[in-house]
Chain A
């Protein structure tokens, strides 16, 4: 027993003990299903997966000729372009402003956290109601203030911004709070030293806060990227891709191909392989950058 303990107590070995549970669980419940799903992309499979016909690269060829798939990539790119910078930088600034533990900040943090704990379904119904072009509370209020009638949910070109807003609305609170926990870990003596040198709040933020919380920054950046490129539930519960497919993200389209009654699991898998490669490419680039900076 003692020998076993000693053996595994060597740092290089204990590392494996630390990662083993997560790796085993991830392989069983994520990697294997993932490989299976990717394998399906070479087959013609119905929703119930009881038959499979090997069709080679056909699903991929079809995807790149499918205007709805190409459109969905464009929508996803726009969405990511809107969401990621605001989530990553905006919530960092907000976090810096509410990082001190006083009454006001605790109250604000609780408020910002509220949308995080609402279920997506309820968020969808709520926003659909208050932004309804006809009987929506906000629409009506804006109209009575003389701001004109805005059809938030049914205007191609506008609705994507509305949906992005709702998505950011829902989760900026959690990004901010994760930043807050990181900022609070920064040693107070660093700020004290800077203060003595006469550095203002903004300079402290740029020269102390930002460099100290880099790992958290990378975490938020990379998870937000992966999350934004897979945006689905907020779209599903608000516009479901409309109007005229201007908010149909790649995963929304994949979902409808996989689970609508007119389903094709193989085709849905092929599209997710394409999406996976895009996300993976971006992530590996960021990962290398992150390793260099850390």
Chain B
């Protein structure tokens, strides 16, 4: 791992434009996000004003207290955690298993099954929404956590992603484990899953994030207000005719922070995962 650091002039010539590009990209991302963050601390009057400001002229916490007064944050956050956590737990198991099978085994119907899986990725959710709702309703899962979670667990994109991750592992590893007497399931769980830790963490982050920000599905599949998630709650500040910008941005920040913490935590985790379980070529 400890390669000698050799500094070549060629590298420096590349390094400068590279750094420039990366900084510009970071600024493109940061400027709007920082603008939003600042706006969350501005009085409504200042957010919509001429000339527009970037840094707040006057600083206020009013928007945050508005959010806190207007919605039952704790209840909503708990529901969001149940929804995101449940979906993700199930998604990791189901999608990793499927991705592994498509990457490591040859079996009859493989192509057909994989194409069916891919096909489900190609229809806009808005089109299958009503029929899907009917299926869930007929199964008696309306207005329940099950109805929220189970239909969202298997995701073609995630299966595909895990397939890609598993394909990168040499097949010999499985063979060696088989000779050692491990069962197929043991190989998957003990040998293969640790190899794809970064991908699993990406899957977790994507899945949690998707459910966390999902507005439509929790709204149609539950009917009682006690089942509402944070995303539903925050949508209340965006009216049909008027938008409460300050509250909407404050709410967005509140909802962003847990995701960001999860990401930072995940990033640290997969760095560790790499150094301990890294592949020896």
A37, A116, A216: the one within 8 Å of B127 (CB): A37
- Please give the residue numbers on chain B whose beta carbons come within 8 Å of chain A beta carbons, in ascending order: 1, 3, 10-11, 14, 18, 21-22, 25-26, 28-33, 35-36, 39, 47-54, 93-95, 97-98, 100-107, 110, 113-124, 126-128, 130-132, 134-136, 150-154, 156-157, 159-161, 163-165, 167-168, 183-185, 188, 195-196, 198-199, 201-202, 206, 209, 212-213, 215, 231, 234-235, 238, 243, 245, 248-249, 252, 255-256, 259-260, 263-264, 267, 270-271, 274, 278-281
- Neighbouring B residues of A33 by C-beta, 8 Å: 128, 131-132, 134-135
A–B Cβ pairs within 8 angstroms, 12 of them = A12-B107, A23-B116, A28-B151, A29-B136, A33-B128, A97-B18, A109-B267, A125-B248, A126-B249, A187-B279, A188-B281, A223-B157
- Neighbouring A residues of B127 by C-beta, 8 Å: 37, 254, 258, 268-269, 272
Evaluate contact between B102 and A255: CB separation under 8 angstroms: no
A5, A258, A284: the one within 8 Å of B126 (CB): A258
Evaluate contact between A140 and B263: CB separation under 8 angstroms: no
- Neighbouring B residues of A136 by C-beta, 8 Å: 52
Evaluate contact between A15 and B101: CB separation under 8 angstroms: yes
A200 touching B10 in the complex, CB below 8 Å, given contacts A22-B97, A169-B28, A187-B279: yes
In the complex, A279→B121 CA distance in Å?
A: 10
A31 touching B120 in the complex, CB below 8 Å, given contacts A14-B184, A119-B213: yes
Besides A29-B154, A101-B274, A215-B164, 7 new A-B residue pairs in contact (Cβ under 8 A), listed by A number: A9-B183, A15-B101, A21-B97, A22-B159, A36-B128, A119-B234, A122-B248
**Separation in Å of the B80 CB from the closest CB of chain A?**
12
Q: Is the interface of A mostly helix, strand, loop or mixed?
A: helix
A188 touching B33 in the complex, CB below 8 Å, given contacts A49-B130, A140-B51, A276-B122: no
- Verify if A32 is at the interface (C-beta below 8 Å from B): yes
In the complex, A30→B35 CA distance in Å?
A: 39
